[in-house]
Amino acid sequence: MAREKLTGIYIPMVTPFNKDESINFNGIKEVTDFLALNGVTGVIPSGSTGEMIAMTPAEQSAVNEATVKAAAGRIKVVCSTGAYRTKDVVEMSIAAEAAGADGVMAVTPWYMAPNEKELLKHYETVRKAISIPIMVYHNPYYSTCLMSDEFMAKLYNEGLIDAVKERQADVYRQQDLRYLTNDGFAIFYGYDVCPVESLSCWADGWVCGTGNLFPVENTEVYRLAKAREMEEAMKAHFALIRPYLALFTKPTAEGMPTPWLQIIKEGLKLRGVDAGYCRKPVISELPADVMKSLKAVLKEYGY
């Protein structure tokens, strides 16, 4: 039986942790409710924004299951089941399907990047274990694993994957992937800055991290772009997205990199959503200058 093609705007949602770093399950429900009520197509729990690298496989599965339960069929849930060990990916993917997930997203194994032969076997093993759609998360910046377009197309054409979150965010790659596959391959733009350009050139969907904090704004830009109302979409982008992007691109007053994860979590708290704390080594507290900027931006948006 053919698997449903994934499309739409998906939010790689944060994982709320308590101050003692235990999982805040009430927070998971609050974040899921917030996103569901603000019009997104679906969510991806336990991804990069969800701090998957700070969780054990058992915790990752627990977060995934809790999110599926919280979504309650209102929105789709594609569970991140990425891990270095193929065995862990398989077990988490089986658990996600059993919990009722609409698909899984599995980032390429990281650190000691596998070669193409190893990657093929990795996704082949996952494919044999589950029947729901598999989205490969291609993020060579984090994983050190860089795929060629030809190899990614091979994974799809041989029936091993159904979609890609393409974090390199290269519009030409999207064009090339479509040429090498067919319309059944779901291509998701995997960054926050150029959704209109990407959706006008072969992308089927958008995975948007800042959508945790600004779901209505991002969903409206997505809707206009998918409707091919490009001039209106670009106007909406400049009105609804550009004003907050500086929050996520400027270093702190001390010259540290943008604490983007903490900005999202603290911003959600300011909006009345219990997004919890981060797990160390990430320091949850925002520098005073960043908090001041965050409050000013939220006030500008009427939040």
Taking residues 22-31, report their average pLDDT.
98
* Superfamily for domain range 8-242: Aldolase class I (3.20.20.70)
Select from 77, 106, 114 the least CA-distant residue to 90.
106
Residue 104, helix vs strand vs coil = strand
Q: What is the pLDDT of residue 293?
A: 96
Residue 23, helix vs strand vs coil = strand
Residue 99, helix vs strand vs coil = helix
Per-residue pLDDT tens over the stretch 37-63: 999 999 999 999 999 999 999 999 999
Domain boundaries, the chain: 8-242
By the 10 Å C-beta count (0-12 exposed, 13-18 middle, 19+ buried), 2 is classed as: exposed
Among the listed ranges 35-49, 103-117, 164-178, which one has the minimum average pLDDT value?
A: 164-178
The identity of residue 234, as a single letter, is M
On whether the CB atoms of residues 104 and 80 are closer than 8 A, the answer is yes
Per-residue pLDDT tens over the stretch 206-231: 999 999 999 999 999 999 999 889 89
Among the listed ranges 132-136, 242-246, 267-271, which one has the minimum average pLDDT value?
A: 242-246
Q: Mean pLDDT, the chain, as a whole number? A: 94
Q: What is the pLDDT of residue 273?
A: 98
